[in-house]
A and B are shown apart, each in its own frame.
Chain A
Amino acid sequence: MSAQHIAARRPGFMERERLQDFLDVFRLLGYRTLGPVVEEETIQWREVDTIDALPTGVHARQGAGEYRLEEQSDDRLFAWNHGPQAIKPLLFSAEETLWHERLMADGQVDIKQTLPEVKPTAIFGVRACDLAALALQDRHFLSQQNPDPHYRVRREALFLIGVDCAFSAATCFCTSTGDGPSLGEGFDIGMAELDDGYLVWGGSAKGGEIIDGLSLEPATEAQLNSMIQGTDRAAAQQHRFLPGETELKQLYDKLNHGHWDEIGERCLSCGNCTAVCPTCFCYSTDYHRTLDGRSAEMKRQWDSCFSQTHSSMGQFMLRRETALRYRQWLTHKLAGWQEQFGRSGCVGCGRCITWCPVGIDLTQAVAALLDGGLADV
């Protein structure tokens, strides 16, 4: 963390005991408050009223195809490294109705937009990688020629309370993508968890006002050092990495590399990687008719370049082989995104590694594919 970065934060210190009051501020302001909760042996975003619901001393051990929560003796509430989902499902719903139509008495059809009803929502404990992914999803769903109204209403209702990562999972590699472990931008309030409390600072005008209202003491030199030690430790714990974007573009020169087939032999084409990826945006639409034939709706649901239908045109399937589907995913994510969105689509969260049932590791795949320099192989 650079000196400039730290100076810009100008954080105040908040004891851990005051966290409940902090949470209550949002509830008083009319926000629904989401936070990390242990459910199904994972960390998931759930509505939280009290900080007792937060995972005290819970750390997540992650590896290729492995995710285990472990309790340690500390009192930290944000020591875990991300669960299976980032913010994506809260904005780009896994399934939703896009429009609805109804047959009227005169035989004509009435077509109606179906926008979601949303409450202002504050999310506690968002990580730097998730915010970087959110910025990319914003670019895809909002900055295009045709912004998505469904995504937009949910996005505009969001208040984000980020937290620096003081620990890394073994699958994390955000330092090499430049997206973490310390918060960069895109949050309303930033937090850093120390042993006995939190450093908090505003990241937006809205967030700054709330922080001002808390009348916190400025952080001491020792507290600032602890904050830096936290993110330095998280960075030092990372041992996976991706090469730079210029090198990643060369994946398109490796379309005939034998390693695709090796991965194709292992890959189950299950789509877990695309489901947990915080930037994957593919979806398909499905038209549903009610049994009485009086109404129908168009739904969209997450799709995946690993599904059979993704590349299908009528009877013809462009990517029948699993190796081709994996190649589509990796080349698009790491190279294609650069042309489409000005940067790689990977933020280094490592979820695709953790949640792959057979432990396929994209950092290893990239290393194997790019090994041997620039020539086509």
Chain B
Amino acid sequence: MFDPHLPHSAVIDRRVQESPGIFSLRLQYVDTHVQDIFEFKPGQFNMLSLFGVGEVPISIVSDPDDSHFFDHTIRVAGRVTEALSRLQPGDRVGIRGPFGRGWPMAQAEGQDVVVVTGGLGCAPLVSVIRYLLRRRDRFGDIHILQGVKNEDDLIWRRQYELWSREHGVNVQLAADMPGKAWPWQQGLVTELINTLDLNLEKTVSMLCGPELMMLAAIAQLRDMGLADQQIWLSMERNMQCGFGQCGCCQVGPKFVCKDGPVFCYSEVADFLGAKGF
């Protein structure tokens, strides 16, 4: 019987240093059968483990139609990610997954998509942006709004610059405390939202970042007339098992790892921002 606890070995095919603190790994399961049946949706995550070190949840950033490989973009944030950052092509990691519910890509078909991210980059939405760009004709306008505190916090600047050159893509960045060379806005990401001319009939918004930022963004989007069902967000909690069993990631009655990590705002509105959840 399938054992959701058990990792399967995957080999690193390629490693890309995206910025000083961010790297990407392109992986392939060693067992070709496991690779063949591996399917995922944007917003889902894997548990990555490294021999002798430990295990962490990391979202998948590659395209679900790439059947030979899958990619993780990882920010060095702790002991395990630090160790993962030292790996090279040919090295192996353990993978369990994919877990969780992804972004509402079917609902987003034919709609404008507003992607709002904050803080130190947001891999769960990178997968969405790539998904949209690769199927450009199936979606309306794409707005990518990113807010950071300091200019230096924009750790994947090159990526945003590339996206801004795509057709029908509106990239706007805001730094709360920008330096002199900052070419974009000064202020908060909510102020960027304010500049949008939303087509309320056909818009889906997707949020990822610190919860205070998401709460502010949600308030702004609702003020502008978006319904709760048009607002989606990715949450993060203490994850141990990854499939709704260990109970550590619960937010009210929701298991973030299984029912989420992507939620419709209406599903978590009662608990988002409430102390202790």
Contact = CB atoms under 8 A, between A and B. Distances in A.
Interface stretch (A43-51, A176-184, A331-339): A331-339
A303 interface: yes
A168 B53 CA distance: 50
A285 B94 CA distance: 15
A35 to B, nearest CB: 30
A289 interface: yes
A101 B245 contact: no
Given A99-B5, A144-B245, A149-B1, A313 B237 contact: yes
A61 interface: no
B246 A283 contact: yes
A296 interface: yes
Contacts of A141: 245
A313 B250 CA distance: 13
Interface in A92-112: 98-99, 101, 103, 108-109, 111
B138 to A, nearest CB: 29
A310 B5 contact: no
A323 B55 CA distance: 31
A281 B245 contact: yes
Nearest to A283: B246
Interface in A271-317: 281-285, 287, 289, 293, 296, 298, 300, 303, 305, 309-314
Contacts of B250: 328, 332, 336
B6 interface: yes
B240 A284 contact: yes
A154 interface: no
B34 to A, nearest CB: 12
A98 B246 contact: no
Contact of A296 (B6, B52, B248): B52
Contacts of A285: 55, 240-241, 246
Nearest to A152: B1
A360 interface: no
A252 interface: yes
Contacts of B252: 252, 331, 336
Contact of B247 (A150, A281, A331): A281
B238 interface: yes
Contacts of B248: 282, 284, 303, 310-311
B7 interface: yes
Contacts of B8: 111
Given A149-B1, A285-B55, A324-B275, A144 B7 contact: no
B246 A147 contact: no
A339 B250 CA distance: 12
A313 B244 contact: no
B99 to A, nearest CB: 9
Contact of B238 (A108, A289, A312): A312
A293 B52 contact: yes
A296 B51 contact: yes
A327 interface: yes
Contact of A282 (B1, B51, B243, B247): B247
Nearest to A140: B245
Nearest to A145: B243
Given A285-B55, A311-B238, A328 B276 contact: yes
B3 A113 contact: yes
Contact of A146 (B4, B77, B236, B276): B4
A328 B271 CA distance: 12
B-side interface size class? 35 or more
A53 interface: no
Contact of B94 (A111, A282, A303): A111
A340 interface: yes
Interface residues of A, number: 53
Given A111-B6, A282-B246, A252 B270 contact: yes
Contacts, number: 121
A111 B9 contact: yes
A377 B142 CA distance: 43
A262 to B, nearest CB: 16
A109 B9 contact: yes
Most chain A CB within 10 A, of B237, B244, B255, B275, is at: B275
A313 B236 contact: yes
Contacts of A328: 250, 276-277
Contact of A298 (B55, B77, B274): B55
Contacts of B78: 314
A103 B53 CA distance: 13
Interface in B76-125: 77-78, 92, 94
Interface string A70-109: 0000000000000000000000000000110101000011
B49 to A, nearest CB: 8
Interface in A324-372: 324, 327-328, 331-332, 335-340
Given A111-B6, A111-B7, A144 B243 contact: yes
B177 to A, nearest CB: 22
Contacts of A144: 243-245, 258
Contacts of B246: 281-285, 300, 303
Pairs A-B, 3 closest by C-beta atoms: A282-B247, A324-B276, A146-B4
Given A148-B4, A281-B246, 15 more contacts: A101-B51, A111-B6, A111-B8, A111-B94, A145-B244, A281-B247, A289-B52, A303-B246, A303-B248, A311-B238, A313-B236, A324-B276, A327-B276, A331-B252, A335-B253
27 contacts: A99-B3, A99-B5, A101-B51, A108-B92, A109-B9, A111-B94, A141-B245, A144-B243, A148-B4, A148-B5, A149-B3, A282-B248, A283-B247, A284-B248, A285-B55, A285-B246, A298-B5, A305-B247, A312-B238, A313-B238, A314-B77, A314-B78, A327-B276, A331-B252, A332-B250, A332-B253, A335-B253
